[in-house]
Structure 1
Amino acid sequence: MRSTWYRWIGYATAAWTFAYGLMGLYWTFGGGGFPFGVGDAELVAEEESRLKFNLLGEATPEVAGPVVAALGLAGTVVAVLMARGYAKGPFRWLLPAFAWALAIGLAIGIQDYRTLIVVAYTPIMPIVVPLTALADDFQWGLLYSMPRLNLLLCLFAGIAWALTAVAYRRRVTGGCEACGRADEGSSWIDRAGRPATWIAFFAPMLYCATRWAWALGFSLGIDPEFYREGQETGLWIAGALLATLGAIGAVLTLGLIQRWGEVFPRWMIGLRGKRVPPMLAVVPAVLVSVLITSAAWMYVRVVAIDGVTAATWALTLPEVFWVVWGSALFVAALAYHRRRRGVCGECGRGTAAAEIRPRRQAALR
């Protein structure tokens, strides 16, 4: 299914969109479980800053329900037409425009930092709870609350819409549906891959440095009482662990342009010398790029509305640079994917050099 995703992604997107549209209809007529705005307990608690944290912070089922239902119905039709390659007249550009609008809206527009929190804290929760006094705040039930899982589901749906648009473009422009190659030469993505990788490595370091500084006893100007409270509860330890996870990810990003990103290094017993499956790097990199970009736009709104002061800069300004981090990581992942594609089994385009080089490197070692 992974190798033939372009054949079924449009129909899968249509099925999800139809199901979510039915949920919108359900909320319209008084059904429970509305996950946005007034149905999101975390946003309700932020009475004066809901829209700052989430663009749907004031949403109600009476208003949002019909909108979701209408978009669900229209999206279902659009996804099916794109899956079938319908491209007559203005539909050739109207369909992908609708798809990209939904993709960006779902994956970034309606998101906030909580989607990233769900993914990032999942692997460190077993460490955070024993080392801190935050057991009441860090619970699996709170981490996986319905509004948060709904945002994560919408983010994946946005990615599905983007893939639907990509598959449609390949189908109607005559490119290979499997690899995307046409008759054109190199792309700007190929040239931007190396600088984008280095940008993606350095961009999160300001955030990491501030979180490590807090854990080491440097307040960086934030409110003293708030800082002492964080020390007592172990909040800064949790932040340092999260920053360390981000730094590890930044280092792994360099594998997109390094030899060990194509051939497993010798210290990996059982794998050394073997070819690194390209998707093992591409899928996590793309997913992380979308997650951090979606979270970053929330901090962009916060900084734009509240501004930056000496007492708040360390809390919100480093996250603004996540926009650069996410964008650069996305470009770096695409460049790595294009370089590692090899010969396409469907159209025969491409070169085997990308596959030969790792084997040569392994032989030289």
Structure 2
Amino acid sequence: MRIPGRRTSWPAYAAIGWAAVYTLLGLYWWAGGAWFPFGTGDPRAADDGALLAGATAPVLGPVTVALGLAGVAAGWAMSRRVRRPRPVLLVFGWTLAALLAVVLPESRAIKYLPPLGFIAFFRPPDPPTLNFLVLLVGGLVWAAATLGYARATRGACAACGHGPGRRHGAGAPGAWAVRWGRPVTYLAIAAPWVYAASRIGWAFGVPIGVPAEFLDTINANNPGHGTMIMELVLAGLAIGGSILTVGLIRPWGEIFPRWIPWLAGRRVPPAFPVGCAGLVSVGVTAFGLSMSRGLPEFFAGGMVVDGYQMNPLWALPPLAFLVWGPALALAALAYDARHPARCWDPAHAAGPRGLVLKTRANP
């Protein structure tokens, strides 16, 4: 049995296309083709791609082919809305999405996402970094495909998640959004300040988590006020993210404030804050994972980094990122539950008849 709704199947088709392309690339690399972007083919792997630093084309090529073929099969099943292997498809889809969007990109690809992306694109990404960005986009595509499939196979609209008897925007938000939405949003507001505090301290010569000699080296490499400007900009981005997160629980996150020209008094499209917060949460979580991978080695090695004796406060920013990212994602989901967007699937927006399930008794 399958569930109709071809208008909302485009993420599954996009996932199929993405998997097919990487299947062909895996075959090409396996056969000895050039431009292998991982491990031995990545000149910056030791610093910014440590997770795959030892990867070689003869090993990773067949793995890429296997995952690609599995992705094509899973994407096809999702596009057809088949029910029988639903748990397997959901586990595969969400695992692949997390692997591509959060685990593999590492720190250098995350720098090209908001908010750092506005600065990073002054230096175009090299081919391996561009490949990691493509992997990240693929992860987002697989997340969309898996979410649409999960919704459709439980009898809900793949576009907005509402059930057959409800139009878009109908009904009360889930109990979890009311109970946990505000506390988790407070957590997402507070977490960036841990990182911001360390950067502000460094900007004004306070060695938070580091010895004074470490700051002296940074200042020597950035003459004048270079260090102060750099650290304050980074701190400002984190603080700005914290302030914008407040909008998820304040009226100005629902209605544009008066000081915004042409938009004052208009309703904020729910997809705008949810989409922005969701994308930032992916980048923040991936960045936190990338930085925290070295923490066990950091503590096991006596907290020595590049010959400098650090203290435990050095580990707080990576841990704060690991809290910030998931908390921001949950805050965005709670906002979305409280402010459902208009369904973009015409079949559902027209009424519940567009969600009739096709069964053997109802062909």
Same fold? TM cut 0.5: yes
Aligned to 2:215: 227
Give the deviation of 1:189 after TM superposition.
3.5
Which of 87, 97, 103 matches 1:93? 87
Rounded to whole Å, the distance in 1 between the matches of 2:105 and 2:283 is 9
Q: Is the 8 A contact 1:124 1:241 kept in 2?
A: no
Matched, 1:124 2:116: no
Aligned to 2:14: 12
Aligned to 1:201: 189
Matched, 1:189 2:177: yes
Equivalent residue runs for 1:72-91 within 5 Å: 72-88=68-84, 91=85
Query: Per-residue CA shift, 1:272-320, capped at 9, x if unaligned?
Result: 1011111111111000001110111122221122227461545443121
Aligned to 1:334: 333
Which SS does the other structure have where 2:294 is aligned? Answer: helix
- AA aligned to 2:24 is L
Q: 1:37 to 1:244 in 2, by over 3 A?
A: same
Rounded to whole Å, the distance in 2 between the matches of 1:5 and 1:57 is 41
Q: Is the 8 A contact 1:299 1:316 kept in 2?
A: no
Aligned to 1:318: 317
Q: 1:314 to 1:153 in 2, by over 3 A?
A: farther
Give the deviation of 1:235 after TM superposition.
4.2
Higher normalized contact order (CA 8 Å, seq sep 6+, divided by chain length): 2
Rounded to whole Å, the distance in 2 between the matches of 1:240 and 1:318 is 15
Which consecutive unaligned segments of at least 5 residues does structure 1 have? Answer: 127-138, 350-365
- AA aligned to 1:79 is G
Aligned to 2:157: 176
Which of 53, 56, 59 matches 2:55? 59
User: 186-195 or 99-108, which moves further after superposition?
Assistant: 186-195
User: 231-240 or 146-155, which moves further after superposition?
Assistant: 231-240
Q: 1:200 to 1:97 in 2, by over 3 A?
A: same
Which consecutive unaligned segments of at least 5 residues does structure 2 have? Answer: 1-5, 166-170, 304-308, 353-363
Which of 136, 142, 147 matches 1:161? 142
Q: TM-score, normalised by structure 1?
A: 0.82
C-alpha root-mean-square deviation of aligned residues, in Å?
2.4
Which SS does the other structure have where 1:177 is aligned? Answer: coil
Which SS does the other structure have where 2:232 is aligned? Answer: helix
Q: 1:187 to 1:61 in 2, by over 3 A?
A: farther
Give the deviation of 1:23 after TM superposition.
0.9
Rounded to whole Å, the distance in 1 between the matches of 2:287 and 2:102 is 8
The count of residues paired between Structure 1 and Structure 2 equals 325
Q: Is the 8 A contact 1:27 1:34 kept in 2?
A: yes
Aligned to 1:359: none
Q: Percent identity?
A: 38
Which of 123, 133, 140 matches 1:140? 123
Aligned to 1:131: none
Query: Per-residue CA shift, 1:328-350, capped at 9, x if unaligned?
Result: 1001111111221166561658x
Q: Is the 8 A contact 1:96 1:165 kept in 2?
A: yes
